[in-house]
């Protein structure tokens, strides 16, 4: 008699998986990668409107205002978060706050920006080896090679 194996159950994605994927896509300036993580009805206090298109438009505007902005993995009060970093005039990265993700039905449903000096916040600093790669997205965007400047060159 033939034996039928039960398919292995696929583990549910965890918040850390969404955070890690968002950090990677954010630093690569990969709008398509970010869109895949978002719910069709995603909301945030970071952008106006509702939905993926509004989120991507808001994120693009954010990158235009802060082209050196990078993200890293963090934790705050037992929740995983996305830490945001900007370099100062000397090229030293300073925390700009963090993003807290609300995950529902295997998608990011809401993104909250938190800038709380009293929060129990811990984050990886930006990885200098990856910064030049992350910030060299102009080559993909405009078809030209970007020259690293400031804290990345």
Q: Is residue 153 part of a domain?
A: no
Identify the residue with better confidence: 60 or 115.
Answer: 60
pLDDT at 92: 82
pLDDT at 68: 87
Domain count, the chain: 1
Q: How confident is the model at residue 132 (pLDDT cuts 50, 70, 90)?
A: low
Specify the pTM: 0.75
Mean pLDDT of the chain: 79
Distance CA 98, CA 114 (A): 5
pLDDT at 53 exceeding the cut of 70: yes
Containing structural domain, residue 80:
15-135
Q: Is residue 149 part of a domain?
A: no
Q: Is residue 8 part of a domain?
A: no
Which range in 36-45, 60-69, 73-82, 138-147 is most confidently predicted, on average pLDDT? 36-45
Q: Is residue 51 part of a domain?
A: yes
Q: Which region among 23-27, 72-76, 96-100, 115-119 has the lowest average model confidence (pLDDT)?
A: 115-119
Distance CA 145, CA 153 (A): 14
**CATH number of 32's domain:** 3.10.450.50
> Beta strand 38-44 with 107-114: parallel, antiparallel or unpaired?
parallel
**Residue closest to 111 by CA, chosen among 17, 46, 37, 29:** 46
Q: Is residue 150 part of a domain?
A: no
Q: Is residue 6 part of a domain?
A: no
Distance CA 68, CA 131 (A): 9
Q: Is residue 4 part of a domain?
A: no
pLDDT at 151 exceeding the cut of 50: no
Q: What percent of the chain has pLDDT over 70?
A: 74
Q: Is residue 146 part of a domain?
A: no
Q: How confident is the model at residue 150 (pLDDT cuts 50, 70, 90)?
A: very low
Six token digits for residue 13: 């994605």
């Amino acid at each position: 008699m033939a034996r039928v194996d039960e398919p292995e159950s696929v583990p549910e994605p965890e918040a850390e998986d969404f955070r890690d994927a968002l950090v990677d896509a954010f630093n690569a300036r990969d709008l398509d990668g970010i869109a895949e993580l978002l719910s069709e009805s995603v909301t945030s206090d970071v952008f106006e409107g509702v939905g993926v298109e509004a989120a991507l438009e808001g994120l693009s505007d954010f990158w235009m205002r802060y082209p050196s902005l990078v993200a890293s993995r963090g934790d705050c009060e037992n929740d995983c978060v996305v830490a945001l970093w900007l370099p100062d005039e000397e090229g030293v990265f300073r925390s700009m706050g963090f993003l807290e993700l609300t995950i529902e039905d295997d998608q990011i449903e809401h993104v909250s920006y938190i800038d709380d000096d009293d929060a129990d916040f811990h984050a990886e600093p930006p990885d200098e080896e990856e910064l030049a790669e992350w910030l060299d997205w102009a080559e993909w965007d405009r078809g030209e090679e970007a020259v690293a400047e400031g804290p990345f060159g």
